[in-house]
Structure 1
């Protein structure tokens, strides 16, 4: 085949996106409401993304060397009687060049291309083969090598232009996928009556209570995401703005700890957790008990709706990666509502905060439930999206916070 001689990249790439958008539009309403939004985005972004071609020139090799008869009737260097066909012994070299990327791209003409004629090539899944023929009596190794290099360079230059088109497509296509998924989800929610208020009504105090402390010197998903088989049921979700406010209130405890190190140096998890509860309930009031945030067991801070947990902050001292993973397991075991937002508060008495933060990050990304890192900051909070295999489609948003706890000198 002659490469880069079919339709242009704009037409092909547009068709790729439109095909995926149409597939999203045809999704079942209940499926898209039950599926993990992160997993769906990853699946369809992978579907519209195109892997550019990269020629592995350093790995080219001669695949076959064959004796052939070559027609030299038009060779001006030879005396040939006009009108007669003249064949002389020759050789054909089949030169294979490995490549990576989508083989369909060899059929597409880039937006910027050369008018030079391309060598005819055979395209396979992982390599191309171009054939060079020459007469045995007039062969010149330098000319032969120059011919091969020119053909490969011509292909390589066009591939580089094609790569620019592919990269532009891969930058813009994910936004089209996200827009299509958001629109489809909105339409599905409307169709099943899910536009009703789903947010948990948490009433903030007009003026937060204040508390005083002693003033001492502080990773192309391969298949569409799975969903559970239960009928979709509307469930309450914690409003993102409230979630962020809760995290900020808890993060404010860093200043409290810093200003009174002696008060925290001897405290255990439960006692430290109590300080967080005081701060949180200074900003919120509950509907019945007056305490929106309550303690359950020894280490967790939670909000409950209809006897199910909608927000949990698990509190643990850093005791290594294994104990940290156990804390994640414990946290995941508490969660029940869809789209649950939670936090993992780690109290650190080591001197290596950045090292601990990196180990926490590595542990989160190494778990089977891990789907996406929303935010990783070595000096601030980090945020992840998990989906449990036992509960497909339900996204769990986990924010990790690290607090340095002073030790007695």
Structure 2
């Protein structure tokens, strides 16, 4: 799609102002008199605000490279007037996905400031900006060719971020003034209604109030929904829903440990593992195994499904950020090609738990095979890394830390 050229953003914003005026005019006299104007102004703000666009880091797990025939343009100087403009050659199609939130139509709007040199073409798909590049195989033979492609990607991304920042500036200005504008118009409307009531009383006309005038309008917020992440689950893996269910069980048990850490002062790593297994077995009717042989060792927790894919987890006592890479590699060694959804669970007895948490992202990002680290909660990190045990396999690993310090 072509960017920032379909609509004039000033016209879009003016249209929002007109919609706001119409909305305020649709309030009945009784509604205006019976309700707090601050609440009505909040409603108007939530209904007519334009969410600015935020572009996140690349979603590495969505990246794809496809080999196929592509069309390569032939310069007029090198072809006859009867020859085709394009020739088909062997090549690749590379797709890169960047998540975004906010109003998607802003990508179609020309802001008050814009670049006359134009913008790269992209696709918008289920909450992602998709950059697509076609390259002949002959153009992708070296590390330098790869670096050129990524340099082009970075330039295109920077160009789009610059363009969307212009649009965001305009809508942020509109949003900043929206509530005050709505409140001012509501006050003007109320003043007219009060004048009407005053005139009606002067003529001794009994006013018929509806039952609605004795009640209040509930404040209803209209929140623009964000796009859902693309479901990239594959048939040979455990499902995303099952993965989330297992992680929730572990999280709830970990929170139980944290409430009464003194009760667990004397127990060791394998004991924590056994309590987690007990909770999981309560839900999986004995299907959760501990010290289970899998690939190159015995994993702490293993829940195998009918298709032989498994959830695999490793439990550790925290000994410092230096041991994180070894723990990830150990977990990786237990995985078969069917296993790509895992967990690494740390029990922390250090006094300064928050300082421990601050070191975890850096320790994870320092692992050479790590491709993505997302902070899910203060003590929870969602990671994606390339398996060494099964080259080419992308592994999801949820790293969770629980505070068991007891004075």
- Report TM bin, short chain: 0.3 to 0.5
- Name the TM-score, length of structure 2 as normaliser: 0.45
Greater radius of gyration (CA): 1
- Name the TM-score, length of structure 1 as normaliser: 0.45
